[in-house]
Amino acid sequence: MTAIVAASALTRRYGEGDVAVDALAGIDIEFEAGRFAAIMGPSGSGKSTLMHLLAGLDRPTSGTVTLEGIELATLDDRALTILRREKVGFIFQTFNLLPILDARENITLPLSIAGNGADKAWFDRLIDTVGIRDRLHHRPAQLSGGQQQRVAVARALISRPAVVFADEPTGNLDSTAGGEVLDLLRRAVDDFGQTVVMVSHDAHAASHADRLIVLADGRVVHDGEALSADGVLDLMKSLKT
């Protein structure tokens, strides 16, 4: 299988001198197309930092990130922005929908920014998949948290990005709504062949993935097939000791 996103010898250091903290202490990792990977780890393990570097939101201290064969370090801000626009989808913990736009406009926002129109068939398929057809003209304030996050999932998928990064997508949702969003991500991988990388500290969320990566102190301490929720919890416990 081909790697969509790859990182090699990736480090990220915050601060300088005595107060310097190595958030990432050298990571080599690849993400294959059409797979759902979950990155777990305790607070400060570097999982968010890794995701930010992979998505081109931050620059590494050393090492390289390649997205669809493009080395991110070679891109200036503008090129990087356009790369994010075309190749990367984002799902945030806090949804981050624009309150002044309705659901439909929020979904097509990445295309609008690029100055493109939406592919009607793809749009229809997406909104039916996420189940918000009857909410298209509602503003975020008129939607529940789960509905908002489903809109956000549709927004992440609308431009058929090479990879979708989800940062604690269920962190602000109750278990029912969270479960729906995880199912959606699963379907995006299974039905649309989408590549998804999710950062989470929720064992239940991680159990939806194909692959589980665990980080601790800026290093990969586990990389293997996905486990059940209980399996994940056991693994985490064993890693702690």
Partner 1 sequence: MSRVVVRGFFARRLRAFLTGIAIALGVALMSGTYILTDTINHSFAAIFNTGARGRSVVVTPHQGLGSTAAVQTATINEATLAKVRKVPGVAVASGEVFTTVSLFADGKRLNKNAPSFVGSTLPARFENFSAVQGRLPSSGTEVAIDQATAQRYALKVGETLRVAGASAAVDYRIGGIVKFAGATSFGGAGVAVLTLPQAQRVASEPGAFDELVVAASPSVSDKDLRARIRAMLPRTLDVRTGLQEAAQQTSDLENQLGFLRTFLLIFAYVALFVGAFIIFNTFSITVAQRTREFGLLRMLGATRGQIVRSVVAEGVMLGLGGAILGLLGGLALAPGLDQLFKAFGADLPDSGTVIEFRTVWVSLLAGTVVTVIAGLLPALRASRVTPIAAMREGVSLTEKGVRSHMRRRIGIGVIVAAVLLRVVLELRSGAGIVTIVVIVAIVLLWRVPQSRARIKAAFSAVIVALARLLARPLELRGIVGRLARDNTIRHPGRTAATAMALMIGLALVSLISVLAAGTKASINNAIDASFAGDLILSNSSAAGNTGIPTEIPAAVRAIPGVSSVTAIAFTEGRVKGIGGNASITALDPASFSRVYRIDWDKGSNASLEGLGTTGTVLTKGFANAHHLHVGARLSVQTPSGQRVTLSVRGIATDNARLLADLTITLPLARTAFNQRTDAVDFVSYAPGVSNSQVQPTVNRLLAARFPQTQSQTAAQFKTSLGGQINSLLALIYVLLALSVIVSLFGIVNTLVLSIFERTRELGMLRAIGTTKRQVRQMIRYESVLTALVGGVLGIVLGIVIAAILAGTALSGSGFVFVVPPITMVVLFVLAGLAGLIAAAWPARRAASVDILAALATE
Torsion angle (degrees, nearest 10) of CA 134, 136, 139, 143: 40
The residue (of 16 and 225) whose beta carbon lies closer to partner 1 is 16
Q: Looking at beta carbons only, is 20 or 114 nearer to partner 1?
A: 114
Angle 145-157/103-114 helices, nearest 10 degrees? 30
Measured from the CB atom, is 55 or 235 closer to partner 1?
55
Cβ proximity to partner 1, 89 vs 178, nearer residue: 89
CA distance 167 to 57: 13
Neighbours of 112 (CB within 10 A): 15
Contact 164, 195 (CB under 8 A): yes
- The least CB distance from residue 115 to partner 1, in Å, is 6
Site string for partner 1, 108-137 (x = CB under 8 A): -xx-xxxx----------------------
Binding residues for partner 1, total number by CB under 8 A? 28
Question: Does 19 participate in binding partner 1 (rule CB under 8 A)?
Answer: no
DSSP 75-120: --HHHHHHHHHHHEEEE-TT----TTS-HHHHHHHHHHHHT----H
C-alpha of 213 from chain center = 14
Tokens of 182: 């995880």
Q: Is 21 in the site for partner 1 (CB under 8 A)?
A: no
Task: For residue 13, state whether it binds partner 1 (rule: CB under 8 A).
Answer: no
Distance, CA of 177 to CA of 13 (rounded, Å) = 36
Q: Are 236 and 40 in contact (CB under 8 A)?
A: yes
Name which of residues 149 to 168 contact partner 1 (CB under 8 A). Answer: 155
Least distance between partner 1 and beta carbon 236 (Å): 25
Residue in 8, 94, 142, 228 binding partner 1, rule: CB under 8 A: 94
- Lay out the site mask for partner 1 across 25-64 (x = CB under 8 A, - = otherwise): ---------------------------x--x-xx------
Return residues touching partner 1 (CB under 8 A): 52, 55, 57-58, 77-78, 81-82, 84-86, 88-90, 92, 94, 96, 98-101, 109-110, 112-115, 155
